Amino acid sequence: MNRIWIIVIAIAVVLALCVGIAFYFWNKDQQEKAEANRALHNTYSYTAGGLHLDVDTSEYVRTGDAHDIELTPTDLTYELLQRWEAIAEVISTIDYPEEAIEQEDWLDVYNTFAKNRFDMEEASEEITKGEEYGSANSMVINDYIDVGSVYNDDFREFLEESGIEAPDQRRFE
């Protein structure tokens, strides 16, 4: 009789271990999926903010899948894209993702915009007569593309010489 109990207990322990191990790996997989979904959701949020896109999360709320987030361009988006295209035409180091824009692949468009940041800073410094790195002048191109801001006379002159219209938004000193 003791031998039967030992076998039953051993089987129960083995089953408990198998269930525990299976649960551990299932739980770990679920956590990894949730983390990947959060990261993708954050990417959509950064993209929407950076490109002034409207966000529709109604389907995402229903499914919980970040791929169901819908990004829609606004007037501000189109203005940003026009400024970006104009700058990319005169500064060859700045990429403009025409194909991604046509396909409305906003994540790819935002990635291209983000990858251009260092080139924008370098070109900004050259245009603003070598102002100190990290100064506000190192971001004139980024600020112009993002919101249409032109607060540096050297940059304003560059835009005029390049045939790019710039709003009169000089900073008050």
Walk along the chain (173 residues) and give the pLDDT tens digit of each residue: 788 888 888 898 999 999 999 999 999 999 998 898 888 889 999 999 999 999 998 888 888 888 889 999 999 999 999 999 999 999 999 999 999 999 999 999 999 999 999 999 999 888 887 555 545 678 899 999 999 888 888 888 899 888 887 665 544 33
Q: Model pTM greater than 0.85?
A: no
Q: What is the per-residue DSSP string for 57-88?
A: -HHHHHH--GGG-EEEE-HHHHHHHHHHHHHH
Nearest-CA neighbor of 87 among 138, 128, 146?
A: 146
Question: Which residues contact residue 45 at a Cβ distance below 8 angstroms, ignoring those fewer than 6 apart?
Answer: 55
DSSP secondary structure letter of residue 128: T
**Residue 119: its pLDDT value, please?**
93
Residue 56, phi-psi category: left (phi > 0), alpha (psi -120 to 50), beta (remainder): beta
CA 29 to CA 101: how far, in whole Å? 34
CA 123 to CA 90: how far, in whole Å? 11
What tokens were used for 59?
């389907």
DSSP secondary structure letter of residue 56: E
CA 40 to CA 42: how far, in whole Å? 5
